[in-house]
């Protein structure tokens, strides 16, 4: 995983840690679970990729693997992407399949907040790009601009 050298802290969430952003490049969906290596107990994850090539059972296996690593918030972006997890209690999920990728990143940075259980130690916010070098390059070169964009 690559630290993106940018962080945000929203003043109205003073108990929550600063969001540190990382890029995780994955060649395939199957490698996603083992490629995500958070340093914080809980983490937020924006997954970008074409999910047409993986079954629902495969997505469930990956989601379970990520939950074991401390997944606290999940955003999904791309064709056939849907936020899917093995449980439905307090893990927040959103899907952004019909939005521009830059809007999904902005939402992930500024509006995605886990429930209080996860928020206390959720400082790693990981953008995982699956099988798309162009999107990976875009994240690496554009994240600072996207995060500073005013959405008022």
Residue at token pair 């074409």: 50
pLDDT for the residue 37: 95
pLDDT above 70 for 8: no
CA angle 148, 149, 152 (to 5 degrees): 125
Query: Taking residues 132-148, what's their average pLDDT?
Result: 86
pLDDT for the residue 86: 46
Query: Taking residues 15-31, what's their average pLDDT?
Result: 86
pLDDT for the residue 89: 44
pLDDT digits (tens, 9 = 90+) for 92-124: 778 888 899 999 998 988 888 888 888 888 889
């Amino acid at each position: 995983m690559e630290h993106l050298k940018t962080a945000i802290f929203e003043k109205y969430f003073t108990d929550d840690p600063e969001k540190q952003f990382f890029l995780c490049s994955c060649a395939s969906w199957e490698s996603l679970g083992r490629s995500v290596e958070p340093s914080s107990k809980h983490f937020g994850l924006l997954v970008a990729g074409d999910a047409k090539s993986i079954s629902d059972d495969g997505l469930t296996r990956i989601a379970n693997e990520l939950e074991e690593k401390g997944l606290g918030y999940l955003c999904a972006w791309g064709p056939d992407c849907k936020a899917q997890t093995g449980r439905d209690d307090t893990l927040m999920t959103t899907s952004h399949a019909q939005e521009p990728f830059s809007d999904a990143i902005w939402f992930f940075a500024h509006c995605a907040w886990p429930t209080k259980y996860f928020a206390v130690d959720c400082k790693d916010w990981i953008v995982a790009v699956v099988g798309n070098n162009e999107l990976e390059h875009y994240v690496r070169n554009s994240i600072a601009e996207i995060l500073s964009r005013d959405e008022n």
